[in-house]
Chain A
């Protein structure tokens, strides 16, 4: 099996020389690139030093033709470079946004971005292609999508209302990046006239006509529109395709979520929502054949200002699908549903543990009335899993500390019985830590009453409790040691 020495030597030599040349090129490019970048940064720094005072003046509201003219005299790329940091700061407050919009219009940037978005990129010289960081993007057509997407993003950051038709058009761009950025920008602009176009695309995406736009992104975009646009979802909510109904109700759910997050007292009533939509929620979507629709509808119904919402939600607590019951019991965690306490309490014995867990959390969120129901259940039930869940939640929320604060009057109060039961169950680690460390743990989202008990009697009761806890721990340590020895 002889090796062909000569051709191999020649091949090795040729590869060696080529690789050495390759290394030289790579090192050259790396150093050139660093040099170019340093130069670019230097230019950006000097430009900022030179023009920043003008920019600050303009942004501060001091409009001057000379200032604008001075900035307009700069090449487009430098004007962009100057404004880029202002756009990168994320969502600016509205007043600043209007000024920024005006500035970008006067500097011709908005026009340039709009042109780029529709594919009319400016031609640049060969020198600029090599020296500007984004030079190649202008020159190479297949890389042009970065500029289009960047322009769509800038129009969205500026919330430029007049650009919405261009952004809707960009949803049909051949590159998916441009489509998704245009979608996000439309969501930021929230122009009501763009809503139907987005709904139409949502239908297309679900029915498989639009492969690049995902229903999830379209749903997220539509969900950021104000509730006043919710009525336009009516055809989708009544659509025969279940997936379209699911997405539509989810959009409505998101709209409500954002509205409720902005206003703690938020209630879904007439100015926000039409009577027709309310009726559909209470008499149609709550009994939709698709459980996903029913579950999401429950979350919206919980915000409705209607006398019918409580009975409808109570009915949904008996839904055959566990995730509908889960969503419903979670949605009931609002003080206005204190009237449904008995129904929520029934969920503590639900066959699905996640519904039970949600019921525990909801009851604890319903202040002392809810907590009392929960503790009563804890004392009565013999179901181990249910008890474990309750212990977990009351410890997680620090509620045990509140119980301890009311412990010790010697009577048969609920708090005393719960603590005694915890001791009986050997669930004493937390109690011990609180008593021993004298920790005062505030309960999140719950104000508890002062105990009003004589300090001495309480002190004695706690000392007794601590002694029994210590005894319990000692016996457990002993038991653990025994089992280790046995093992």
Chain B
């Protein structure tokens, strides 16, 4: 009995050490990212005044871009989304919509709204995809092409779009997103002006809930009504404004939101296109591109810029939030596991030594460690392994540190883009940033832990998040 007790004590102490190291490592890196992003985003914001988007818009050298919109059962919003995409300011813009075997009237609505005719074209896939049933266009809207294919999931639809795309760059855009008018010009700016070959350029995704959208454009920005959606506003700010900016500054970008990002078509094809073996095909492609660059000895850059804005609806109900977060965590675990050989490998540079291990340890395993911490720490108190004061202090510190990082993200927004114009909104965001760590964080952690469990049990199905809020 004493031996068992001793073993348990040691086990708990070891676990506590893991939690403490996780806490300091995770928060230490987040703080570093926040401080770096504060400076970089502030300067970037000032540099926007002389960015020279007009030159990009008017230059004969600006390469054309195709927006690829994969759509599956999106009859409610597809027409407005495509209208919004067609209105995007960019020279030589093309839009390809891939109807991924929708069971609803997504295709019929597109055909009716844009006067599309089925063409007698032959589809020649360079990347393997499920068969395309038909290609539709209207000669009067020469920059819009709709393809209807058998249902094969988002990566398959994106690959079909890449096969049909004829431009050197393509932009993946989720069907439920609204692009700001100049978002694509801004997204292409780092590609066109960088001295290093920029193969991916990602922009910021902001929460559409609570905003007023008219004719495919956001006309009034505001905070959503429910607490659940408001917490997600803070979360998105934290994730994009300092998380992604920070990793971009370090040259360790591992995640670019596939909801809105520009890719170099040729290089994506050489890297094998989007894969279906993970549920987060965007992250998987980014990691795959790092592989490709290391294998081919190519110096490439993956850029994140915080001024090109794409508005998207966030889940408005707990069940949809659960689906989304479970999928994200599952996809993260699948991708990290699949590319595990990158861990601490010299040839991957910052990604191999810093970014990948951080995502593996803190973002991937962290969900399980933190969740188990909530269960095992009370046990440690009961068994008397750790004094309750220390536990309470650490729990408190966890809440407060999370609040510190979220308040930092709100400050970053305030110092730069200030999209929420009312003073009341700022105060609300600051309060939410503090409260987010009590309740909401634990809820999300629970969903993330479910994602880890699904990974461990081999679950791999895509769970669709259905939005019921404002449409574009």
Contacts and interface: CB of A to CB of B under 8 A. Distances in A.
Contacts of A56: none
Interface stretch (A119-127, A369-377, A390-398, A413-421): A390-398
Contacts of B59: 220
A26 B404 contact: yes
Most B CB within 10 A of own CB, among A3, A30, A428, A430: A30
B16 interface: yes
B219 interface: no
Given A3-B17, A15-B397, A9 B414 contact: no
A214 B198 CA distance: 14
| Residue of B47, B55, B59, B396 with most partner-chain A CB within 10 A | B55
B113 interface: no
Nearest to A428: B120
A391 B59 CA distance: 32
A427 interface: yes
A134 B49 CA distance: 12
B64 to A, nearest CB: 15
Given A2-B13, A23-B407, A439-B115, 14 more contacts: A3-B17, A3-B386, A16-B393, A19-B401, A23-B434, A26-B408, A29-B411, A134-B46, A153-B52, A177-B47, A254-B60, A388-B122, A398-B139, A425-B120
B275 to A, nearest CB: 25
A290 interface: no
Given A29-B411, A30-B430, A254-B60, A396 B137 contact: yes
A91 B54 contact: yes
A27 interface: yes
B57 to A, nearest CB: 10
B468 interface: no
A27 B52 contact: no
Interface string A437-461: 1010111100000000000000000
A342 interface: no
Given A9-B389, A444-B142, A146 B121 contact: no
Interface of A: 1-3, 5, 8-9, 12-13, 15-16, 19-20, 22-23, 26-27, 29-31, 33-34, 37-38, 90-91, 134, 137, 143, 146, 149-150, 152-153, 177, 180-181, 184, 187, 211, 214, 216-217, 219-220, 223, 254, 257-258, 388, 391-392, 395-398, 422, 425-430, 433-434, 437, 439, 441-444
A177 B43 CA distance: 12
B374 interface: no
Contacts of B397: 12, 15-16, 19
Name, among A90, A397, A433, the residue most crowded by chain B CB atoms within 10 Å (CB to CB): A433
Contact of B393 (A12, A26, A223): A12
Contacts of B127: none
B50 interface: yes
Interface size class of B (residues with CB under 8 A): 35 or more
B152 interface: no
A20 B400 CA distance: 7
Nearest to B62: A220
B400 A19 contact: yes
A373 B390 CA distance: 87
B3 to A, nearest CB: 15
Nearest to B61: A220
B324 to A, nearest CB: 28
Given A33-B415, A180-B193, A257 B410 contact: no
B414 A149 contact: no
A466 to B, nearest CB: 15
Given A38-B423, A254-B61, A430-B118, A184 B55 contact: yes
Interface in B371-400: 386-387, 389-390, 393-394, 396-397, 400
Contacts of B195: 211, 214
A19 B404 contact: yes
A30 B413 CA distance: 9
